Amino acid sequence: MRVLILGGDGYLGWPTAMDFAAAGHEVTVADNYLRRHMAEATESDALLVAPNLSERAAIFKGTTGHEIHVRIGDLSDPDVMFDIVRDTTPDTIIHYAEQPSAPYSMRGFREARETFQNNLDVTFNCIWAVKEIVPEAHVVKLGTMGEYGTPNIDIEEGWLEIEHKGRKDTFLYPRAAGSLYHTTKVLDTDLLWFYVRTYGLRVTDLMQGPVYGISTDEADLDPRLCPNFHYDDIFGTVVNRFLVQAVAGVPLTVYGGGGQTRGYLNLRDTLQCVRLAAEKPAESGELRIFNQLTETFTVSELAERVKGVGDQMGLGVEIKSIPNPRKEKEEHYYNPTHSGLIELGLEPHYMTEGILGAMLERIIENRDRIVTDRIMPRVRWS
Ligand code: USQ
């Protein structure tokens, strides 16, 4: 397949690019380093040094012989998007090119607007480039489990059959996002659904939970091929943050009551899910939605797990609840269906002590780079 990865410099984009290239697909990555600039502007630099895309592609080629083509450009500009799609004529477009941080989107008007414009414009341009240039291409779009919020009923995979006054129909599952970032993903799904049902595009929307991990088959070949591993309050996801806090001797920052439940997955499983979706595409005129997670935990359970492994390694980990900077339920029902990707062939890597221990070892090797000022939350929802 010819695969175009939008947002190929990101935490997920770069490992995905290497995974597809290693599997023999022809890969182009496109990015404008937006997240790097935002991280720099908010003093949220990643723990591990990740060279720029051209350098990473050269290192990857030198190590494996596989080529990854690089295009640097702002995909929220329609001319850039159209040129790249025209030049690469992809069979599959993997769309990660969004500002991914909920706290960043809640920082103020400028950041909210930037998130809104970038995320919606890139999705819109992607849809139009496909419709005009490669209408048979399959779009694999990264959504988020946060689109659904935390409803008091089971969460289905994207769709819900509703019976009302004796009649039935199927609708997009109701959504109630908890940040402006998550809301842009809701709007993306609506846009995609409009263009799928009107123009017969083929789209898979992956509702993914928070990801953790550093290791993938290709990233492990050379330390310079590592993903951008953030532990700050803005770009770091909770498991990665807790592991760095454990190494830094900072009590694990459980926000509020700690009963917030989410569906987590290992970075390796993101790669599996995206490749499974790409290699078994949606039909023309289908918006296929999968819930992309492998197991659910409360924040307190995660903290206990990290403490358990950290203590075995002599780190003496403490846990401390701090006032919740977000507006979210701290005790709630949470039961998402997630069988679709398993049926496609996903073999999960669960959050074992071994996996957490290996991550802690890698972080310990880089402990001198931890800046503890980046750990406590700096953005409040209200
Ligand atoms: N949390 C803590 N302490 C921390 C950090 C987070 O208790 O130090 C809590 C949060 O309040 C939340 C949960 O942990 O209840 C998850 O937070 P997170 O920062 O790991 O995840 P979130 O902000 O929701 O966003 C991340 C990614 C985003 C993705 C989303 C999937 O940054 O791109 O879409 O996970 S989901 O959460 O399912 O919407």
Which of 105, 250, 262 for a ligand 1 pocket mutation test, highest count of atoms within 8 Å of Cβ?
A: 262
* Helices 353-365, 299-312: crossing angle, 10 deg rounding: 70
CA 213 / ligand 1 centre spacing (Å): 14
Give the separation between CA 53 and CA 68, rounded to whole angstroms.
Answer: 9
Which atom of ligand 1 approaches the CA of 377 most closely?
8
Task: State the residue for tokens 């846009």.
Answer: 191
Per-domain boundaries in the chain: 2-374
Mean per-residue pLDDT pooled into runs of 10, the chain (382 residues): 98 98 98 97 94 98 98 98 98 98 98 98 98 98 98 98 98 98 98 98 98 98 97 98 98 98 98 98 98 98 98 98 98 98 98 98 97 97 94
- 3-state SS of the chain? CEEEEECCCCCCHHHHHHHHHHCCCEEEEEECCHHHHHHHHCCCCCCCCCCCHHHHHHHHHHHHCCCEEEEECCCCCHHHHHHHHHHHCCCEEEECCCCCCHHHHCCCHHHHHHHHHHHHHHHHHHHHHHHHHCCCCEEEEEEEHHHCCCCCCCECCCEEEEEECCEEEEEECCCCCCCHHHHHHHHHHHHHHHHHHHHCCEEEEEEECCEECCCCCCHHHCHHHCCCCCCCCCCCCHHHHHHHHHHHCCCEEEECCCCCEEEEEEHHHHHHHHHHHHHCCCCCCCEEEEEECCEEEEHHHHHHHHHHHHHHCCCCCCEEEECCCCCCCCCCCCCECCCHHHHHCCCCCCCCHHHHHHHHHHHHHCHHHCCHHHCCCCCCCC
For residue 363, give both structure tokens. 């972080």
Give the separation between CA 184 and CA 19, rounded to whole angstroms.
Answer: 27
- Burial status of residue 156 (CB atoms within 10 A of its CB: 0-12, 13-18, 19 or more): middle
CA 237 / ligand 1 centre spacing (Å): 6
Give the separation between CA 230 and CA 235, rounded to whole angstroms.
Answer: 6
- Candidates 203, 216, 217; CA nearest to 282 is 203
Ligand 1, residues at Cβ distance < 6 Å: 100-102, 144-146, 182, 208-210, 237-238, 241, 253-255, 260, 262, 299, 326, 328
Q: Which amino acid does the sequence have at 380?
A: R
For residue 70, give both structure tokens. 């690089």
Which of 118, 119, 141, 144 for a ligand 1 pocket mutation test, highest count of atoms within 8 Å of Cβ?
A: 144
For residue 364, give both structure tokens. 């310990």
CA 282 / ligand 1 centre spacing (Å): 28
Decide if 336 contacts 148 (C-beta within 8 A). yes
CA 89 / ligand 1 centre spacing (Å): 35
Give the separation between CA 100 and CA 122, rounded to whole angstroms.
Answer: 13
Q: Which CATH superfamily is domain 2-374 in?
A: NAD(P)-binding Rossmann-like Domain (3.40.50.720)
Indicate which residue's Cα is closest to atom 26 of ligand 1: 210
Indicate which residue's Cα is closest to atom 35 of ligand 1: 210
Give the separation between CA 353 and CA 291, rounded to whole angstroms.
Answer: 25
- Burial status of residue 171 (CB atoms within 10 A of its CB: 0-12, 13-18, 19 or more): exposed
CA 268 / ligand 1 centre spacing (Å): 18
Indicate which residue's Cα is closest to atom 30 of ligand 1: 210
Q: Catalytic residues, which ones?
A: 144, 181, 185
CA 149 / ligand 1 centre spacing (Å): 12
- Looking at residue 278, its pLDDT comes to 98
For residue 192, give both structure tokens. 């995609």
Which atom of ligand 1 approaches the CA of 147 most closely?
39
Which atom of ligand 1 approaches the CA of 145 most closely?
38
For residue 49, give both structure tokens. 């040094």
Instruction: Evaluate the CA torsion angle 231, 237, 243, 246 in order and state its sign.
Output: positive
Which atom of ligand 1 approaches the CA of 256 most closely?
7
